[in-house]
Structure 1
Amino acid sequence: SGRLGDKFLSVGRVQSPTLAIIVNREKERETFISVPYWELYATLINGGEFEAQHKKGRFLDQAEAEATRAKLGKTGTVKSIILGKRSEKPPMPFNTTEFLRAASAIGISPSNAMRIAEFLYVNGYISYPRTDNTVYPETLDMKGIIESFLNTEFKEYAQKLLSGKLQPTRGKKETTDHPPIHPATPVKRSQLKDDEWKLYELVVRRFFATFAGETLWETMAVTVDISGEDFGANGARLMEPGWRWYYSYNLPEDRILPKLAEGQSLTVKEVNLVGKETQPPSRYGQGHLIKIMEDLGLGTKSTRHEIISKLYSRAYVHGNPIQPTKTAFAVVEALEKYASTITKPDMTSKLEKDMDEISEGKITEDFVVRESRDMLGEVFKDMTKNKDLISEALRNGLYEDRVIGTCQKCSSDLIIRKSKKGSRFIGCSGYPNCDFTLPLPKIGQIVVTEKQCSDHGLFHIKIVNKGKRPWEIGCPHCNFNEWQKKIEEEKKNGLIKEPKIEVKEVKSNKTKRNSSK
């Protein structure tokens, strides 16, 4: 395929529908047309200060929003106060999908999370991490597990749980193969690396949270009349942390409103009209994508993270939230046009359902093998018949992924190339007539981003190495200029010394050999 490094193109009954989900979301973003709107906010004073928004929410007509703002006076009256309570039920036990989503939310990718989870399992710190089960079996010594943490840094949490009745939550799916993911034995923080501890702590806290009570909030909804226009403000105060005391990830902050009474007069400090635009649908994060795959029957608890990791290694996607490359677009569009079955979740979902029915004794293994062979046979037939058209479409996509911008010397494309020795560089597609080049790092996946340099017109690039933060190079031309400037400054300051070559006179000191005539 002419790709850089050992990256090559691949398709698969799980991989391709997953890639299509990512590409189709990106198409939705590209075709999205933003609509401007305006929001009206009033800052009100009553001892304390708080902000209220006009009850209309979004004004689609700027003139209407400005006219509403112009009519507002300097005082408002509290029209109504509604006090209430809101509760949050504790979470269900961890199955693999929810565990990977939670890990992703704290900055650990699904592939890394599963690798670390397997390490923790092998060392006896957590239970088997590949499970669909969300119900603790009766045979699990839940009290014993909690008691084992009484002499650890989780002592306070364990004591509080043991002081009451242990009644865990139950998820929707109950299986008999493996229990939900839970801690197996305590381990000291000093015995684990940072990410290992983060995941171990996540499992422990989730396990504890499933035995805790509901989280309770006190809510307050206020309506203020300003010159006949209604403005609203909502407050919330945590009354009882419940399960969130154990599992404090993404805990919402209190929104405290000052003490108010109906009919009370308030001073309007200022009114702000804020212009905004509707936003395109967001890209999928890895955790969200795993949930979508589960809902569509794509892959299993053991393979979904591997499929996503493969999309990265094939350079189909980059970043998190996930962004597809031009190659991904080309692959999906070619397959949708010439072998559409492989890009839809239907085939895989059907096969996964068949697997369940085999285990339930409803159908035979031979039937499923014949069925899958027939389905895949049709896919291969379509791909073989259209292989030349598919190849042409893929070549175009591969080329687009390598284009950095336009050569300022000859106006040809600047593209990522490889030398005969295997080193990478940016070269002109007009070669040999144009020999303009820029250097590139020797290792790492090169990703061409959408950001463009205002000086050189080149797309910014970044280098991605597995397990490390991406290296944002930016504009390769600017980067090269800065590097050259730095080298010159270091030479000027004597930090880099030019090598001196001394030529010394070498005296002849030959040893005569004995020779016989």
Structure 2
Amino acid sequence: MDCTDGLFENTPFSLKDFYLNFYFRAVHRAVNRLTIPDYNASTAVDVRQELDLRIGAAFTRFQTLRLRRVFPQALSDQLISYGSCQFPTLGFVVERFREVDQFVSEPFWRIVVTVSRDEKTTEFQWQRGRLFDQDCCRAYYEHLHQNRYGQIVEVIKRPKTKWRPTALDTVELEKLASRKLHMGARYAMQLAERLYNKGFISYPRTETKIFPPDLDLKSLVRVQINDSRWSDFASRILEHGPNPKNGKSSDKAHPPIHPLKVGDSLQGDEARLYELVTRHFLACLSADAEGAETIVRLCIGKPTLPRTFNSSLSTANLLTSEDGELFESKGLMILALNYLEVYIYDRWAEKDMPVFQLGEWILPDNIQILTGQTCPPPLLTEADLISLMDRHGIGTDATHAEHIETIKQRLYVGLEQNKFLVPGQLGMGLVEGYDSMGFEMSKPNLRSEFEADLKFQSSRGNIQCRVASQMHISIYCAVSLVLR
């Protein structure tokens, strides 16, 4: 049974089990952890469902009939649905599209210094970043060109870490499937459900990023030794002991998503999603990637130069930012890949850095001005949209994909380049129509405030839940009166 999102509290009143999966240990653990459902949480689910039904039915009927009369040819067979989660989901897409559409690109200028050493060219970036005044940037450039000598004023060597992923929940699975496998969220969850029903992975609808202490991680890893793709990696995890990187959230219902048995017999997209889950699981139990970073800072532009340029060292009187302009270059050496050996979805590239000595005087090979243009933010992908929905409390891990699929099917949004979400004429028209009347129906505030009120009131008893419901119904009634 699905015990997430409070929905299980709303099933017929019976004992509730935690962590129910298709394998013996999980069932045994569930039987020993039976609890009584939360009656207040059950009432909150009733209130939410009632509110969604009443508001959705009323506004869907109004929109559909009204717009069919106004546009009989274009919308004669179209259902113009409204949902208190569906509409803010559309709103996120429209808002980002507007940002991109209204963005005005501006030119900028920056200065780059290059130094050749040991048959390598090192590029130093200006610490001022970029300037939007060409004349000002040109003035700096002329000064640096006339005073080309510089000094290495700081050499920093420090450890660098690339963090391994945390335990996998539903939201993260949807986002990873979208970004790494180029799958739609709904399709990815359908695949995950099939893998779960076949016993390959644990229950895929969970808000938990914390492995329970009584989950036998060693046994789960030991199973993966039989898969040649990561057999050696799994063996090393067992040798050092699983070291799970847990997150902070837990729905106290299902553990993070993890593999249950070897999936080398799977094919197609099922195999790809299973591989993602398994590699993520093993990466989470291993160690962070380790590296060594070198940061070199170069000061150029001091009018007083060394009498004889011989790359001499002088650490007694290092130049400061007041003496000239600072430029910085970074290098990276990877010392231990660790989780990156199995997690092919992350990249960490080395960057060679020649040896520079503190106090060393440098004559750059080239000082140049580069120009560029500011860019608008990218259009939303499904992964971006799910992140926004999760952040603002729109829907749940179990419904994010459905809301996105609904606004696609209604032709409120479409896909550009088979990746980016863009509003269609109908979706844009609905949002602009409500906005023009002063109603922020496409904003997440209304829904997130209701969820917050419902959560607060449910903690005070089921009667208070009804108070929260009536308060929000009155808001929609006021909107309905104006629309009519």
**Does the TM-score normalized on the shorter chain lie above 0.5?**
yes
2:357 to 241, 261, 268: 261
Instruction: Report what 1:129 is aligned to.
Output: 204
Cα distance between partner residues in 1 of 2:207 and 2:218: 23
Q: Point out where structure 2 has 5 or more consecutive residues left out of the alignment.
A: 1-67, 303-324
Shift of 1:127: 0.8
Cα distance between partner residues in 2 of 1:350 and 1:120: 36
Instruction: Report what 1:170 is aligned to.
Output: 246
Letter in 2 for 1:19: L
Instruction: Report what 2:460 is aligned to.
Output: 362
- Residue 302 (structure 1) aligned with residue 395 (structure 2): no
CA distance 1:367–1:258, shift in 2 (3 Å): same
Larger Rg: 1
The percentage of aligned residue pairs carrying the same residue is 27
Matched-pair contact (CA < 8 Å) for 2:294–2:332 = yes
Cα distance between partner residues in 2 of 1:273 and 1:216: 35
Aligned with 1:120: secondary structure?
helix
Instruction: Report what 2:234 is aligned to.
Output: 158
Cα distance between partner residues in 2 of 1:348 and 1:168: 35
Instruction: Report what 1:43 is aligned to.
Output: 114
Cα distance between partner residues in 2 of 1:218 and 1:127: 37
CA distance 1:328–1:249, shift in 2 (3 Å): same
Structure with more of its chain in strand, by fraction: 1
Matched-pair contact (CA < 8 Å) for 2:450–2:472 = no
Instruction: Report what 2:30 is aligned to.
Output: none
Q: Point out where structure 1 has 5 or more consecutive residues left out of the alignment.
A: 388-517
Cα distance between partner residues in 2 of 1:378 and 1:131: 32
Structure with more of its chain in helix, by fraction: 2
2:423 to 324, 333, 351: 324
- Residue 32 (structure 1) aligned with residue 108 (structure 2): no
CA distance 1:202–1:227, shift in 2 (3 Å): same
Matched-pair contact (CA < 8 Å) for 2:394–2:448 = yes
Instruction: Report what 2:155 is aligned to.
Output: 81
CA distance 1:212–1:309, shift in 2 (3 Å): same
Aligned with 2:224: secondary structure?
coil
Cα distance between partner residues in 2 of 1:167 and 1:80: 37
- Residue 343 (structure 1) aligned with residue 442 (structure 2): yes
Cα distance between partner residues in 2 of 1:351 and 1:60: 44
Aligned with 2:278: secondary structure?
helix
Instruction: Render the CA deviation track for 1:412-457: whole Å, top value 9, x for unaligned.
Output: xxxxxxxxxxxxxxxxxxxxxxxxxxxxxxxxxxxxxxxxxxxxxx
Instruction: Report what 2:378 is aligned to.
Output: 282
- Residue 91 (structure 1) aligned with residue 165 (structure 2): yes
Aligned with 2:404: secondary structure?
helix
Coordinate RMSD, CA, aligned: 2.5
Cα distance between partner residues in 2 of 1:379 and 1:339: 13
Letter in 2 for 1:386: L
Aligned with 2:215: secondary structure?
coil
- TM-score relative to the length of structure 1: 0.68
Aligned with 2:138: secondary structure?
helix
Letter in 2 for 1:323: V
1:85-484 equivalence runs, <5 A: 85-106=159-180, 107-153=182-228, 154-188=230-264, 190-193=265-268, 195-228=269-302, 229-319=325-415, 320-338=419-437, 340=439, 342-353=441-452, 356=455, 362-364=460-462, 367-368=464-465, 371-372=468-469, 375-376=472-473, 378-379=475-476, 382-383=479-480, 385-387=482-484
Cα distance between partner residues in 1 of 2:157 and 2:330: 10
Cα distance between partner residues in 2 of 1:355 and 1:122: 33
Shift of 1:38: 0.4
Letter in 2 for 1:113: A
- Residue 63 (structure 1) aligned with residue 135 (structure 2): yes
Matched-pair contact (CA < 8 Å) for 1:41–1:54 = yes
Instruction: Render the CA deviation track for 1:37-93: whole Å, top value 9, x for unaligned.
Output: 101112211122111122221122212222332342665432321111122333221
CA distance 1:129–1:267, shift in 2 (3 Å): same
CA distance 1:338–1:59, shift in 2 (3 Å): closer
Letter in 2 for 1:362: R
Shift of 1:143: 0.8
Shift of 1:227: 3.4
Letter in 2 for 1:25: R
CA distance 1:121–1:179, shift in 2 (3 Å): same
CA distance 1:268–1:143, shift in 2 (3 Å): same
Aligned with 2:240: secondary structure?
coil
- Residue 19 (structure 1) aligned with residue 90 (structure 2): yes
Q: Give the total of aligned pairs.
A: 383
Aligned with 1:343: secondary structure?
coil
